[in-house]
Amino acid sequence: MAEVATYSKPQPIGTEENQHMTCRGKEIRTVYTEQFDSPALPFEKSNDPQKVLEREYMQHGCAHYRRRCRIRAPCCNEIFDCRHCHNEIKNSICVDQKERHEIPRHEVNQVICSLCGTEQEVRQDCINCGVCFGKYFCESCKLFDDDTSKKQYHCNGCGICRIGGRENFFHCHKCGCCYSILLKNSHPCVEGAMHHDCPVCFEYLFDSTNDVTVMPCGHTIHQNCLKEMRDHFQYACPLCSKSVCDMSKVWEKIDMEIAATPIPEPYQNKMVWILCNDCGKTSKVQYHVVAQKCLNCKSYNTRQTRG
């Protein structure tokens, strides 16, 4: 993870997973149903407990997790590889809007072994064949994952599992989410900072599978959405209009442009009131056709309030 103490390069926040699988609606649903109805393949038996646990390690799972079990959704009583697979299929545009829903992850209580097909209560090892469903197992979130390189950990404050290593993150109780340890003494606290939708794509940020970053104003946004904003020369927070990065070089260029642009005669004595989006101060300044400069912080991120 790159440093972000200066906010010039905002940091991604650890999320439970950062991969996506494209949902193909009814076609995917049919494929899953056929897969679950097929009998489990035979496997070689072993008297070595360690070999039993490691059997077919990293060979099962979906686009989201490597695991050796599937889950039965308590909401619709259907079987899926993971909660993301369920949510993508059940929220597909091919599904009637009234029937769309998300799985209550903490209410999952039945899993199906991918090796022997035995359905059982949630546990880390199969009660029948003894295989380990996932090297990482969270009993609270009902999360299984063989790929421990993600450095998963359960945050009691968030109530969900995140990735990136517990030692690299801290839970801010005011913001109600986990941030990079680099921001522990420098981030601006915003109550419930991630308990809202991304201001660009409107996906709920708290349990998003995409990387989330915190802006200098304290508001949060998907890292990819922030990049897309910058690609389109949008440098202000969509929520509060504060600058999302250091704009001092841009302000210097605007200074030069204003100096080279004569004020038309009708506006030479015109004064206006402006509000600075960055510092929140109001100023009475001479009107200019290019931009109005805040007298307090020298920012051009301003808006005219009175003529």
**Is residue 285 in some structural domain?**
yes
Which of 231, 266, 284 is the last residue in one of the domains? 231
**Is residue 5 in some structural domain?**
no
Same domain, 254 and 174: no
**Is residue 175 in some structural domain?**
yes
**Is residue 297 in some structural domain?**
yes
**Is residue 21 in some structural domain?**
no
Q: Give per-residue pLDDT as tens, 273-296.
A: 999 999 999 999 999 999 999 999
Higher per-residue pLDDT: 7 or 196: 196
**Is residue 49 in some structural domain?**
yes
**Is residue 115 in some structural domain?**
yes
Q: Which domain holds residue 253?
A: 248-306
Mean pLDDT of 133-148: 95
pLDDT of residue 46: 58
Q: Give per-residue pLDDT as tens, 32-75.
A: 433 444 444 455 555 666 777 888 888 899 999 999 999 999 99
Q: What is the CATH number of the domain that holds 300?
A: 2.20.28.10
Same domain, 34 and 106: yes
Same domain, 83 and 182: no
Question: Across the chain, what does the average pLDDT equal?
Answer: 84
Q: Please state, for a pLDDT cut of 90, what percent of the chain lies above it.
A: 62
Which of 150, 184, 212 is the last residue in one of the domains? 150
Same domain, 180 and 211: yes
Q: 3-state DSSP helix/strand/coil percent for the chain, to nearest 5?
A: 20, 20, 60
Same domain, 42 and 126: yes
Residue 125: count of CB within 10 angstroms of its CB: 19
pLDDT of residue 257: 95
Same domain, 99 and 146: yes
Same domain, 158 and 144: no
Q: Rounding to the nearest 10 degrees, give the CA dihedral for residues 119, 120, 126, 129.
A: -50
Whether 111 and 133 have beta carbons less than 8 Å apart is answered as: yes
Same domain, 116 and 145: yes
Number of domains in the chain: 3
Higher per-residue pLDDT: 242 or 185: 242
Which of 100, 118, 150 is the last residue in one of the domains? 150
Same domain, 252 and 272: yes
Q: What is the pTM of this model?
A: 0.68
Same domain, 43 and 118: yes
Q: Is the dihedral of CA 221, 203, 173, 153 positive or negative?
A: negative
Q: Give per-residue pLDDT as tens, 63-120.
A: 999 999 999 999 999 999 999 999 999 988 888 888 899 999 899 999 999 999 999 9
Report the run of H or E that residue 254 belongs to, with start and end: helix 248-259
Same domain, 183 and 290: no
pLDDT of residue 295: 95
Both structure tokens of 231: 């690609």
**Is residue 157 in some structural domain?**
yes
115 Cβ contact list (under 8 Å, min separation 6):
40, 41, 43, 55, 56, 60, 68, 126, 129, 131
Same domain, 80 and 170: no
